[in-house]
Amino acid sequence: MPCPHCAHPQWLRCEQLRWERGQPETAAYICETCGEPIAEHHKTWMLGNGQWQACAPENAGRTAGFHLSSLYSPVGWRSWIEIARAWESAAMSDTRSASAIKTFKNTELGETWVEEGEAPDWQRLLERREDYRVGTVPAGGLLLTVGADVQKDRIEVSVWAFGRGKASWLVEHRVLMGDTARTEVWSSLAQLMGETWTHSSGCQLSLARIALDTGYATQEAYAFVRSVRDARLMPIKGIAGGAALIGIPTPVDATASGKKLRRGIKVFPVAGGIAKLEFYNNLRKSAEVADDGVTTIYPAGYVHLPKVDAEYLQQLCAEQLITRRDRNGFAHREWQKMRERNEALDCYVYARAAAAAAGLDRFEDRHWLELEKQLGVGPPADAPLTDTPEASREQRFDGGLSISSNTSAPARRVVRSRWMN
């Protein structure tokens, strides 16, 4: 709407509504260009000379949506004085609360509310990175899974290790470049599935599960699943909501008559919001120092990150949880991207879903003890003691964020547990 003083067109924003504190009856709108106060009675002229302006991209869809706050209410409806009084009641009183401010933003301004702390600070993650070598599995990592995100010109893959208390370690993140409509990049993914990664004990860990996103290049992804015939590979598709991280798989292969093939491909629905909320809660956890001043104590679910770059961390923190209100006034929460690139976060979600399919959420102490026994590592101090074989193992640390080599000596030991199948 244009300013009645300088005719500069502008959107009405709450921060331009000014008044003396404790005196909402003095409220006036300040033009963002000329700085002149605009009285309430000017709104009639401003509304008559205002215009709608499209903000969405051209390919956003066929359904138009409109956003209008109560600041635009015609004279005689919701006044600026009433809005100022509502803001003071919500944010400036002794009983102010986040829920009152949230209600004001939702109902008066028609804006979304960002839940505090849902998106972690990537700069803080940059400071808490650890020194373990990219491409190797630290001692606590016992269950190795992969999340693969398919794009037009590449497949991004994250290898994550999970351990007791659902602690997690990023082992490496690779970008397999290539047109996903061609076979070359899929061959690279098949090769990765056959690799092993060096554990700190010297053993070679194979993958327990591989979750492959089928939302893009769907038919190519299905063809890949059919060609590799690997029971560890699970095709997945993200869904907006769900009661569990992984839902009941849906058959997608059918006969010529339309009957679903019982032994055909089954796609697992994954409620990514559940994994993201758990992941962001874990990213905000901090390590503590024991009484000896040396030993580091990590809380359950702690996320360990090697020396990855800032771009990767920004991708991990690329989304935030917001609250929206639908046309009926009901609030619902949804995840919103804050930046275009979020492949690192998606890859984690898929790897976490793969870990859930491998039994991570159902593991008891006996399962972890068995995996620790096979790797020849001792359980933590608070776990029951068990016999662990002792042997000299040569460690080999080769790897990088983009490419890692996992070739080991001929006498290497590859661990494949029955809980990894």
CA–CA gap between residue 268 and residue 249 (Å, rounded): 4
CA–CA gap between residue 60 and residue 234 (Å, rounded): 31
Per residue in 213-272, pLDDT tens? 999 999 999 999 999 999 999 999 999 888 899 999 998 887 777 788 877 899 999 999
Cβ-proximal residues to 108 (8 Å cutoff; 6+ apart), any chain: 14, 69, 70, 83, 86, 87
Q: Which residues pair with 388 in a beta bridge?
A: none
Per residue in 282-300, pLDDT tens? 999 988 888 787 788 899 9
Q: Is the pLDDT of residue 167 over 70?
A: yes
101 and 293 in contact (C-beta within 8 Å)? no
Q: Is the pLDDT of residue 387 over 60?
A: no
**Which tokens belong to 76?**
């005689």
In this prediction, what percent of the chain has a pLDDT beyond 70? 83
pLDDT at 321: 85
Q: Is the pLDDT of residue 274 over 90?
A: yes
All domains of the chain in start order, with CATH: 14-111 (no CATH), 122-386+393-420 (3.30.420.240)
The least confident of 77-81, 315-319, 414-418 is: 414-418
pLDDT at 311: 93
Per residue in 329-376, pLDDT tens? 677 788 888 888 999 999 999 999 999 999 999 999 999 999 999 888
Q: Which residues pair with 237 in a beta bridge?
A: 269
Q: Is the pLDDT of residue 279 over 80?
A: yes
Query: Is the pLDDT higher at 193 or at 90?
Result: 193
pLDDT band at 95 (very low <50, low <70, confident <90, very high): low
pLDDT band at 117 (very low <50, low <70, confident <90, very high): very low
pLDDT band at 97 (very low <50, low <70, confident <90, very high): low
Query: Is the pLDDT higher at 178 or at 399?
Result: 178
Region 168-196: mean pLDDT is 96
**Which tokens belong to 349?**
């979600």
CA–CA gap between residue 203 and residue 395 (Å, rounded): 8
Q: What is the mean pLDDT of the chain?
A: 83
In this prediction, what percent of the chain has a pLDDT beyond 90? 46
pLDDT at 421: 46
**Which tokens belong to 389?**
């074989």
Q: Which residues pair with 406 in a beta bridge?
A: none
SS (H, E, C) 10-25: CCCCHHHEEEECCEEE
307 and 129 in contact (C-beta within 8 Å)? yes
Per residue in 300-329, pLDDT tens? 999 999 999 999 999 999 998 887 776 676
Give the E-state strand segments of 310-353 in sequence order: 319-325, 331-337
CA–CA gap between residue 421 and residue 410 (Å, rounded): 24
Q: Is the pLDDT of residue 419 over 80?
A: no
The least confident of 26-35, 211-220, 247-256, 377-386 is: 377-386
Q: Please state the separation of Cα 126 from the chain's center in Å.
A: 17
